[in-house]
Amino acid sequence: MGRFDGKVAFVTGGARGQGRSHAVNVAREGADVVLMDLCDQIESVEYSMSTRADLEETAALVEKHGQRALPIQADVRDHAAVADAVRRGVSEFGHIDLVVANAGIMPTTGAGSHELQAWTDTLDVMLTGVFYTVRETTQAMLDNRNGGAVVITGSTSSFRGVAYDVELLNPGQVGYGAAKHGVIAIMKNFARALGQYGIRVNMVAPAGVRTPMVVNDAFSNLRASSPPGWMANAMNVDLAEPQDISDAVLWLLSAESRYVTGTAIPVDAGQLLC
């Protein structure tokens, strides 16, 4: 028996990284999974983003656990595309019970980070895209009248600024922090309004995680030129693994946290203490 037997999860940014980890873990616990990802490059982002092949690989990993996967290449910045993905998920599986609003970008380095488009891109993906995702999936939950659970991917940047000099006051970096701060408001408002319907909404706030968003030459160069202690944490460890974040997400989605809503849980090895 899995914790999510008979349930259906909707995961954005599911092609790789944390999204893939969350999708595979909910499948391991018995859920079928709708996987949504852009699978394309955004010009302001310096590192290589996910591909359709990545998305298909995640779907195959879900199916290895005996669960069904519905991979959808779509853009969280496009409300109609998000609404259509939700409709397709409900049509295929009958309902949506679990949501991980995880899609994210980090255009904080390179020439593109200094263009105003980087501000628009970060807000569109990680603030507006989260709103569209939570809005449409929770409406499906309300229609189903059986409750549900939502987890938004925030960041330690939801709680603090990380710019240590003028170079990091670029539109991409400041936009990243603004978006990650903003999703707290989305989480709290939806949690307060939907609790009476058995729908819980929480946020997980990781520090650095070993995914392609962070493990790339551009971010490595940024870390190398940063002041001592820029990414320090109380446990004196390096990057977290995706599974470390998935363990927290699984708990927030499960009945084990049935009275937890409107809460942001850092998984940061104590970075916010430093």
- Strand order from edge to edge, sheet including 148-153: 69-73, 32-37, 8-12, 98-101, 148-153, 199-206, 264-267
Count Cβ atoms within 10 A of the Cβ of residue 111 and give its class: 0-12 exposed, 13-18 middle, 19 or more buried: exposed
Average pLDDT for the chain = 97
Point out the catalytic residue in the list 47, 132, 164, 176: 176
Could you give the CA distance from residue 77 to residue 124 in angstroms, rounded to a whole number?
A: 5
47 is a catalytic site residue: no
pLDDT digits (tens, 9 = 90+) for 63-105: 999 999 999 999 999 999 999 999 999 999 999 999 999 999 9
pLDDT digits (tens, 9 = 90+) for 15-74: 999 999 999 999 999 999 999 999 999 999 999 999 999 999 999 999 999 999 999 999
Structurally, what CATH architecture does the domain formed by 8-273 represent? Answer: 3-Layer(aba) Sandwich (3.40)
pLDDT digits (tens, 9 = 90+) for 222-258: 888 888 889 899 999 999 999 999 999 999 999 999 9
